[in-house]
Structure formats: C-alpha cells, structure tokens
Amino acid sequence: MKPILFALEAHPLSTVLCAKLGAVVGLHSYRRFPDGESYLRIETPVAGQHCLVLANLSHPDEKFLPLAFLTATLRELGAASVGLIAPYLSYMRQDRRFVDGEAVTSRIFAKQISQMVDWLVTVDPHLHRYHSLDEIYSIPTRVVHATPMLAAWLSTQTNAVLIGPDAESEQWVSAIAAQSGHPFAVGNKQRHGDRDVVVSLPDLTKYVGHTAIIIDDVISSGQTLLRCVQALKSQQFRQIECIAVHGLFADAIDQLLMAQGVRRLITTNSIPHSSNALDLSDLLQAPIEASLALLKKPKD
C-alpha cells in the first residue's frame, strides 16, 4: 500500500519525496472565497490509506487553517493515518512567558498540531530552552539534523573561514568546522529589539583574503547576518557568503544582504527560495519511512 502525499502549495521536496518514498501524489482543490474563507476538496480516495502532508510552515498564521482543514478532512474521509512533514517548524521562538500575560505560543501551537496529526518529521527546529520536541508535542516526533549536509558542502569550498554570528552558534559552528576542515570564529551579539542588533567580531586579520562564510540555522529578519556582514567588511573582507538551514528572508532581507556585498546565499530546500542549493530529501526519507513503519506494525 503506497502512502499518499499531499502538499497545499508547491514545494521543491514534493516530487523527489514521492519518488524516494514510492508515494502517490495526493490531488486536491483549494481556493479562497471572496471573503477570504477557504474552500478545500480532496480528490484522491484516501480511505484506509496512510497520508503524508508536506507543509511549508513559514509565515504560519496564513497557513494554519488550511492545514487544519486538510488534516481534518483526511481523517473524516477515513485515512488510516495522517503524518506531517514540516521541514521548517514554526512557533518555536516563544518558549517561555518573558513578561506577565504573554502567550507561550510554542506550547499552544504544539498542542494544536498534536491533535491534528499522528506524527511529525522536521529539520533542525530552533530548540533553545527546550531539550527536545517531546517536551511540547504529544505525538511521535523525529528531528533531522542538517549539520552533516552543510559540512559536506563546505568541505568542497577552499580558502574559507567560517563565522558564527553569536555565542549561541559556537557549538554548532565549531562542529561544522571540524567536519569541513575550516577555521572558524564566533562573534558577540547584543540584541536590543527584533531589528536592533549589534554584532562584534574578534580580530580576523590573519584570515583576510579568505572567503568568510557566515553560518546560521535560521535567517529570519536577517539583521544579525547583516550586522555580521558589516563587521566583516570593516575588517577588509571582500568575499562574503552566508549559509543556513532555513531561509525565511523577512522584509526582502535577502536582497539587502546581496546589496551589502554578500556574494552568495545558500540554504536547504526546507523553505522554497532561489537560494535552495541543498536537498533534504535523502535526510528526510528514513525518518518518514520509520514513522510509517511504526504505524503499520501489527499491534499485540
């Protein structure tokens, strides 16, 4: 029995995952009524079938309701199971109540998703104060780590120095540097607001003439990277690149980074973008198959 893969919007992983998993493309119709409400119709028979939903959860507020309608309809139509493949997992930022009255949205979002699907596969979620997704998700979760992929790509680059923009990135960047064989340095970040960031770097004089490659897990507002680029330019670096797992690129920050002298942006295809140069499908295949195998295992 082949699984059926649905995607509410075009995603670069859809076709390749169907091929690797031997999955059938799930057909559906989706549109919005003039008042903004959603219309959804499942066109592929799903009764008794294991269904996969591939979702791009960047800018999640506009995508959550369509996702809820899709997963609920699949269940109502008799799907044997519904699993969520969310290469980028949103709502991981607010992991505590910093000020009285704030919503801890990571827990609320996790509770809602756990009620909608049977399992979740994601890539490098931004775990900060949580040790694992199991702290907030009540369904089986599997996390894929893209570090080896980034390190493999970086190992093909010559005369490079890797730059971590802040102390939080040091452990991650040092591991990638060890795997790729490049030297690295880590900056110091002071954040005064969502878009008010100051980044200072150590003396990198001995690396001038190298290509400076800034590494991050998520490029969101991009202000940290932008300040890091400016700090590198002040130390006379002329070849600057950025590589990240997830590229959100809010407020057209990708264009601003390029205008500021970044030669190349490289991201995985977790979120569709022109910078997608690293394909996650090989990394995703095994955990998806393991999630399906667990559901298909006969119960005692």
Mean residue pLDDT across the chain: 94
What pLDDT is stored for residue 140 in this prediction?
A: 97
What pLDDT is stored for residue 163 in this prediction?
A: 97
Polymer length in residues for the chain = 300
Strands (E), the chain: 4-7, 24-25, 28-32, 38-42, 50-54, 81-86, 119-123, 141-144, 160-164, 184-186, 188-193, 196-200, 211-219, 239-247, 262-268, 276-278
Confidence of residue 19 (pLDDT cuts 50, 70, 90): very high
The Cα 115–Cα 128 span in angstroms is: 24
pTM over 0.85: yes
Tens digits of residue pLDDT in 53-70: 999 999 999 999 999 999
Query: Six-digit token pair at 205?
Result: 């004089």
Tens digits of residue pLDDT in 130-148: 889 999 999 999 999 999 9
Query: How many Cα atoms are found within 13 Å in the side-chain-facing hemisphere of 132?
Result: 10
Query: Six-digit token pair at 154?
Result: 């970086």
Q: Identify the structural domains of the chain with CATH numbers, from first to last.
A: 4-145+280-296 (3.40.50.2020), 147-278 (3.40.50.2020)
